[in-house]
Structure 1
Amino acid sequence: MAAPRFDIRVFHEIGALPVFSPDREGENTPRTVRDFMKAVEANDGLIVSSPEYVRTLPGGLKNAIDWLVSAELIVYKPVVLAHASHRGDDMLATLRDVMSTVTSNFNSEIFLRFPLMKKSPDEIRQIVGTPENRCRVDRFLEEFSEFCQTVRADASGLG
């Protein structure tokens, strides 16, 4: 859905990350974690999207955040949220609290949500592919891109 001017990368290995432990940091950091950290570090910002589990964050997402906090890779990284369900407000509230704690550049105002729970891939393409929803996606990504640029300019003293 992203316009060609946006380079979106999805990290699909969150579930493969070992449970965070300070004993596994530094030279003991597992390869999967190092790959994850490199992926985060290489990008201008993070769009976090997650299902809810028992009205809160899934353990895998919290674990991934713990690894990023430990390495301080998320502390100044621009972060926004997207959500693909009509439910999950308790999880979103928790995720907003966590993100506003772990990064000084969490923007809760830039948010994208579609009610896609239990939809087939074809139904999702149809819903998200309407002209109105394509515009919503484009506007979300444009706002996020501008936010990332502002954060970068502020960090370099130009903003």
Structure 2
Amino acid sequence: MKILAISGSARRNSTNTAMLQAVRAVAPSEIEVSIFDGVGRLPVFSPDLEGEHLPEVVWDFIDAIAKSDGVIIASPEYVRSIPGGLKNAIDWLVSRDEIVHKPIALLHASHRGDDMLAGLRKILETITDRFAGDIFLQLPLMKLEPAEVFRTVETAENRSKVQAYLQAFSAHWMADTKTA
């Protein structure tokens, strides 16, 4: 399975991006995880830029989604909501087909953020018919530096949790693929 892991943070030393990098490092060999950490590089969505005017950076983002079997999103909470960069990235996908039947699951790097997660779940249930809301992993990594995030995820207990999460997502994708 090929997973595109999207970091909802535009911060250079993002905990979410570090978590996704650590997840990629401990993923089972049959699961390939690539990371999109460029929500901050996407231009503000405008319908005027769609079609033949689609910026190359947006096309690259959409192409990465199209080439994946599923998407995992990890995002911080800003002011009890979804960060603007992540919402903007999702806006670029709304009128396109690449996301409509794509399995999506959430991964969270904090012990808090319930308001953001509720809003993000509602949006994802709207843009794809394959949102895997019951496949969720929350790791207490908030305020850790990237090296600490790696060490925390690589512990036997967390490595096991991450691998079980990825395998559950892969099984969800496989089950949906067989019924499609």
Give the TM-score normalised by the residue count of structure 2.
0.83
Offset at residue 147 of structure 1 (A): 1.1
Secondary structure class of the residue paired with 2:135: strand
The partner residue of 1:54 within 79, 82, 87 is 79
1:146 & 1:102 partners in 2: Cα distance? 21
* Identity rate, percent: 52
Q: Which runs of 5+ in 1 are unaligned?
A: none
Aligned AA (1:59): G
Aligned twin of 1:80: 105
Q: Which has the higher strand share?
A: 2
Map of 1:41 onto structure 2: 66
Aligned: 1:64 with 2:89: yes
> How is 1:102-117 mapped onto 2 (pairs within 5 angstroms)?
102-117=127-142
Cα drift, residue 151 of structure 1: 2.1
Give the alignment's TM-score, normalised by structure 1.
Answer: 0.93
Shift of 1:75: 1.0
Amino acid of the residue matched to residue 18 of structure 1?
Answer: P
Look up the equivalent residue of 2:111 and give its one-letter code: H
**C-alpha distance after superposition, 1:11-53 (max 9, x if no partner):** 1211111111111111010000000000000000000110011
Deviation of residue 148 (structure 1)? 1.3
- Runs of at least 4 residues off by over 3 Å: none
- The reply to whether residue 141 of structure 1 matches residue 166 of structure 2 is yes
Compute the displacement of 1:154 (Å): 2.3
Distance in 2 separating the partners of 1:130 and 1:13: 28
Unaligned runs of 5+ in 2: 1-25
SS at match of 2:35: coil
Q: Output the CA distance in 1 between the equivalents of 2:164 and 2:88.
A: 30
1:104-136, Cα deviation, whole Å (9 max, x unpaired): 100111001101011122322222122111110
